[in-house]
Amino acid sequence: MSLKLIYFKMRALAEAPQMLMHCYDIDYQYLMSWEHFDDVWANVKPTITFQQLPMLEVDGEAQICQSVAILQYLENRAGIAISDPVKAAQASAILQSAQELFAPLNPAINFAIGDDFMAKKEAMRPSLSGRFSDLARCLESGRGKFFTDDTARAAEFATYHHLDLSKLLDPSLVQEFPRLMAFISDMESLPGMASYLSKRPKLIDVGTAPKLVIEDVAHPTGMKKT
């Protein structure tokens, strides 16, 4: 079985799937849209089921779009899906609520610059704090390290990604939530996580001229080949 994860030059919706695959030893290939399709995004977009990426291609045939669906498929592949229907639905609610942090946080970190970045940063503070508080409460109400128990699944990887990204906006945002700080530390202790975090492309010059450093070359973030 082969897995290809197709996305762009940005640190956003392909992070949680990659963390999950690293932590559960699932082999995959990461490809930029232009590498996989050998064409510019404007031509590729109308051919994709929901006209957006990421997309996971399974065995060169099936294509799975939508980051939540990709994560849930990978949970099954990793053998960590929750069998109890109520607990599974509750974990799915947490996953979807974590993914709602995507916008405006991820686009701002990856693309916004100058005054626009500063304005977006200030505007999103209350909504980020509100959702961080909800997620902290979910963790506090459980008995394990993570939302459902002591196993990191889709909801945990998605939550970790957005919390981690928020540090590039303002590290003090998440520091206001001790339960989230403990969660971050537990996630970073998972086997496979430290090596993924140290090897992934660095995101630099956030807020001024964001770039991803891929194989020692700094590329402007975006949907174009550079």
Tokens of 116: 């626009």
Of 106 and 148, nearer to ligand GSH (C-beta) is 106
Both ends of the chain: CA-CA distance in Å? 31
Of 12 and 32, nearer to ligand GSH (C-beta) is 12
Of 66 and 129, nearer to ligand GSH (C-beta) is 66
**74 part of the interface to ligand GSH, by CB under 6 A:** no
Residue nearest to ligand GSH (CB): 52
**66 part of the interface to ligand GSH, by CB under 6 A:** yes
Considering only CA atoms, give the Rg of the chain. 17
**Which letter, b or e, does each residue of 111-149 get, where b requires 16 or more Cβ atoms within 10 Å of its Cβ?**
bbeeeebeebbeebeeebeebbeebbebbeeeeebbbbe
Of 5 and 136, nearer to ligand GSH (C-beta) is 5
**98 part of the interface to ligand GSH, by CB under 6 A:** no
Is residue 26 within 8 Å of residue 20, measured between CB atoms?
yes
User: Pattern of binders to ligand GSH over 17-56, x per CB under 6 A?
Assistant: ----------------------------x------xxx--
Q: How far is CA 205 from the centre of its chain?
A: 19
In angstroms, rounded to a whole number, what is the distance separating the alpha carbons of residues 148 and 91? 7
Out of 3, 5, 6, 13, point to the residue binding ligand GSH (CB under 6 A): 13
Q: Which residue ranges make up the site for ligand GSH (CB under 6 A)?
A: 12-13, 45, 52-54, 66-67, 223
